[in-house]
Amino acid sequence: MSVLQTDLYTLTMADTFVRHGRDDLVSFEVVFRRLPAGRSWLMVAGVHEAVQALVDLRGTADELAWLRADGRFSPELVARLAALRFDGTVWAVPEGTCVPAGVPVLRVTASRVQAALVEPVVLSVVNYGTRIATTAAEVVTAAAGRPVYDFSLRRLDGPAAGVETARAAWVAGFAGTALPEAGLRHGIPTVGTMAHHAVMGHGEEHEQDAFAEALADHPEGTALLVDTYDVERGVRRAIAAARATAVPLRGIRIDSGDLAAEARRARALLDAAGLAETEIMLSGDLDAPAIARMVADGVPVDGFGIGTRLRSGEPLGAVYKLCAQHDTDDPELRHVMKRSPGKETDPGVHQVTRRSGRDGQRPAVEHLIHLGHEAIAGTPLLRPVVRRGTPVAAALDLAGARAHAAAERRMVEAGARFVPASRSPQLMALRDRLSHPAALSPRDALVVVDVQHDFLPGGALGVDGGDLVLGPIGRLLDAARQAGATIVASRDWHPAGHVSFAERGGPWPSHCVAGSDGAQIHPALDLTGATVVDKGTEPDVDAYSAFDGTGLLELLRERGVERAVVCGLATDYCVRATALDALDGGLRVLVVTDAVAAVDVTTGDGDRALDELRTAGAALATAP
């Protein structure tokens, strides 16, 4: 890879990194955010090409001279590029692996300059290779055991893509390629038939002579192209040429017309001539649906050549995003994330673990994205392919990739359903800590739930760590007042002998009795301008939600509130119930995770409540 095979802004950023001493260690991950319509998986390829580009990263004398002459780059950057050799680490899923959207498929950990320079090439080859492998895998499945060959070179966007296309298709299950260079570089079997112009050069009346020459010169297995003029006549002349030369007619190819009908006529002629072993290959703008129809209809075809449609379909849009970096005073990687709406990234260095399950009668394939240090049961997919600049040969073995892809295809062909990727609770908690709520607006309501003495440590029903929410809630109150948002505080306001109390068979000790000190909201919270709503005021009616019997939903609707920002105590009871009721009432909901605390009667109840709220449609974030 040339140091100039990158975007200009990458070079200008690299110059800034070098000038300011910011060439520290970083990690970037490649992720397919979304899949083309109608797809639930992609078959990953292009990893080999990405690794090759990284280890070949160099700046030639001419390139360095261009950088100097351009005038925009510092001598320090040019010197750095002159000595540049990739010495980072790369992890990737094995080529041939099928993955759903959102799964990291490759990670580069290297100096900031190196990792930034390689972004365009890494994305180019992984996007392209994966697109080809996915299409090729679908074609191979459609062919139902019949060999499929790569005829695509003349249909590609430039000859440089030929070898990459042939390799990705071979990984996915193609039986060979028409490109000799791919045979040289990767040992892929090469195949060939003949072109129409070779027949036309003899003239229509001498088509048989063209066939005879081809058979005599290449008796090892040339397939004759029989559709230059008329398929039926071409087949008869191919049979005659084989008899005249005494060379077995191993195959014919049909490239135009009604391929199914022509194949049936050709098969009948060949069988009548005693050439039942002669194979019929079809080509001509074929794709997986067309091939599947032919197979289902019983068309007598023995193989397919795929050209134009091998690169068809919607281009893929994998992204290469920073996920972790060193701070100058911290030897540990610091997690980072992008928060742009619709383009959020997962913070941290990840692993992807595959687990098998069932979806009714169908096998289901689940992928869990989690932090690399988490011990998760299942099959980890990301594996090292480059260590300190040196490729891991076993991880890049072409035969191994092809065998792995075959196993993945069999899984898909067995009807496996790819479940959308999920994230571990630790990763979700990290996302929540690094996310921040958008600035509150007049269309928001800050709902502070039950921050009362009895729910704080030392109270009748004290929540461990409940006092830790006071600081974040105080910041939220300040932000709400500055934004002109509605502020609501709820409180339990129970009569003596309330139905929830243990003395009446309820689950809780007596707490928050109306008018008592325990029922008062903590004075550290400045509730100036807030509306206070009381719940649980009826002796025989329990109520956890701030919306239960308080008229709060009607109040918020009158004020034009569109989103409830919920905080307070306790996560697994009153906060949970309040957030769910807000969602049921048509409000958007944001739960502020560092401004809530859980009772945790059973360990993990608070985390499970947050998971439930997230699934129900609530957003989770931290206080500003």
Query: Hey, which residues are catalytic here?
Result: 450, 535, 574
Structure tokens that stand for 325 in this block: 């970096």
* Residues across the chain: 624
Q: What strands, in cross-sheet order, belong to the sheet with 148-150?
A: 176-177, 148-150, 303-306, 279-283, 251-254, 223-225
* Residues with Cβ within 8 Å of residue 510, at least 6 apart in sequence: 460, 496, 498, 501, 502, 503
Query: 570: cis peptide before it, omega within 30°?
Result: yes
For residue 250, give the H/E element and its range. Answer: none
Q: Are 98 and 138 in contact (CB under 8 A)?
A: no
Strands 588-597 and 563-569, bridge-based pairing? parallel
Q: Which one-letter DSSP state was computed for residue 513?
A: B
> N- to C-terminal Cα distance for the chain?
44
Q: Are 592 and 566 in contact (CB under 8 A)?
A: yes
Q: Are 597 and 468 in contact (CB under 8 A)?
A: yes
At residue 618, what are phi and psi to the nearest 5 degrees?
-75, 145
| Residues 179, 194: Cα–Cα separation, whole Å | 14
Q: What is the DSSP string of 180-228?
A: HHHHHHH---B-----HHHHHTT-GGGHHHHHHHHHHH-TTTPEEE--S
- Determine the 3-state secondary structure of 303 from DSSP: strand
Structure tokens that stand for 505 in this block: 């068979």
Give CA separation, 444 vs 474, 510, 511, 594, in Å.
16, 34, 30, 19
